[in-house]
Amino acid sequence: MSTAHRLPGDYSTVTDPERALKYAIQHIAVARAEVVEGAITLLSSTWAHENAAELVRRQLTARLEALGLVSGAGSLDLPGSENWFIPDLAVVPADLAAKTEGALLPDRTLLVVEVTSPSNGETDRTVKRRRYGQYGAPIYLLVDRQHRACTVFSEPTRLGYAVEDGPHAFGVPVRLPAPFELDLDTSRL
């Protein structure tokens, strides 16, 4: 009897495609990659994109410290779907972040922020908005650089979000609901 030799990374005999895809994405040799509706997407940001995320992060910092929260760009798993997202910014409880080595579920976040790029804008506006809501992310802030506007989505449902606040043109303050209770200055986004 002969046993076929398997090469490292050979997933041809894996019976659970979702598990194999998520395993592969975590071990791919690039800085950042995510799975969006089953398609591997390599992420690379421009300085303008990173600047927009950083401007949001800086405005949140004092409030996060007061609430015992931290922000970062850690992975979010959406079990039962072929999705593994890496948001531009997510806010989670500090104690949870300190003990979590792998991905979190979106319902463990308090805020998820995505900043659009020409290559992923539609994904952030539609797929991620729907999926973050379905998976219970309480607040989703979409910073749409192509449309020069911000929208806050809240009250997650099985279909996405029940409440949509915006779009608000860059330059108009954007209110983040509880627990943040903060007006974001969008004039420099």
Q: Has residue 28 been placed in a domain?
A: no
What does the pLDDT read at residue 188?
Answer: 95
pTM of the predicted protein model: 0.85
- Position 65 in a domain: yes
Q: Could you tell me how far CA 80 lies from the centroid of its own chain? A: 17
Tokens, residue 114: 């995505």
Q: Which domain holds residue 58?
A: 46-73+85-184
Question: Could you tell me if residue 143 is inside a domain?
Answer: yes
For residue 17, the one-letter residue type is: P
Instruction: Order across the sheet with 33-36: list the strands.
Output: 39-42, 33-36, 83-85, 76-78
Q: Using DSSP, state whether 40 is helix, strand or coil.
A: strand
Summarize pLDDT for 71-101 with one digit per residue, the tens.
Answer: 999 999 999 999 999 999 999 999 999 999 8
Q: How confident is the model at residue 45, as a pLDDT?
A: 81
Residue 134 lies in a domain: yes
Report if residue 92 sits inside a domain. yes
Which portions of the chain are predicted below pLDDT 50?
1-6
In whole angstroms, what separates CA 3 from the centre of its chain?
42
Q: Are 49 and 117 spatial neighbours (Cβ–Cβ below 8 Å)?
A: yes
pLDDT at residue number 170: 98
Give residue 43's identity as a one-letter amino acid code: L
Question: For residue 93, what pLDDT is reported?
Answer: 97
pLDDT of residue 6: 47
Q: What CATH number does residue 143 fall under?
A: 3.90.1570.10
Question: Residue 4 domain-assigned?
Answer: no
Bond before 79 cis per omega within 30 degrees = no
104 in a structural domain: yes
**Residue pointed to by tokens 């998820």:** 112
Report angle CA 126, 129, 130 to the nearest 5 degrees.
Answer: 85
Tokens of 174: 């954007």
State how many domains the chain has.
1
Q: Is residue 122 part of a domain?
A: yes
